[in-house]
Amino acid sequence: EVQLLESGGGLVQPGGSLRLSCAASGFTFSNCALSWVRQAPGKGLEWVSSISRTTGITFYVDSVKGRFTISRDNSRNTVYLQMNSLRVEDTAVYYCARHSGTTSSPFDYWGQGTLVTVSS
Amino acid sequence: AIQMTQSPSSLSASVGDRVTITCRASQGIRSDLDWYQQKPGKAPKLLIYEASTLQSGVPSRFSGSGSGTDFTLTISSLQPEDFATYYCLQDYNYPRTFGQGTKVEVK
Cβ contact, residue pair B34, A106, below 8 Å: yes
Interface of B with A in 44-83 (CB under 8 A): 44-46, 49-50, 55
Contact A104 B91 (CB under 8 A): yes
Q: What chain A residue is nearest to B55 in terms of C-alpha separation? A: A108
Q: What is the pLDDT of residues B36-76, one digit of tens each?
A: 999 999 999 999 999 999 999 999 999 999 999 999 999 99
Q: For residue A50, which residues of chain B lie inside 8 Å, CB to CB?
A: 94, 96
**pLDDT at B59 (0 to 100):** 98
- Average pLDDT estimate for A48-64: 96
B100 pLDDT tier (thresholds 50, 70, 90): very high
Residues A4-46 pLDDT 10s: 999 999 999 999 999 999 999 999 999 999 999 999 999 999 9
For a pLDDT cut of 70, what percent of chain A falls above it? 100
The pLDDT assigned to A49 comes to 98
Nearest to B95 among A61, A107, A113 (CB): A61
Q: CB A106 to CB B100 under 8 A?
A: no
Nearest CA-CA partner of A47 in A109, A89, A11, A97: A97
**Residue B71: predicted pLDDT:** 98
Q: Are the C-beta atoms of B24 and B70 separated by less than 8 Å?
A: yes
| Strand ranges in A1-120 using DSSP code E only, listed in sequence order | 3-7, 10-12, 18-25, 34-39, 45-51, 58-60, 68-73, 78-83, 92-99, 107-110, 114-118
Chain A closest-CA separation from residue B6 CA (Å): 12
Residue B5 in contact with partner chain A when CB distance is under 8 A: no
Closest chain A residue to the Cα of B57, Cα to Cα: A108
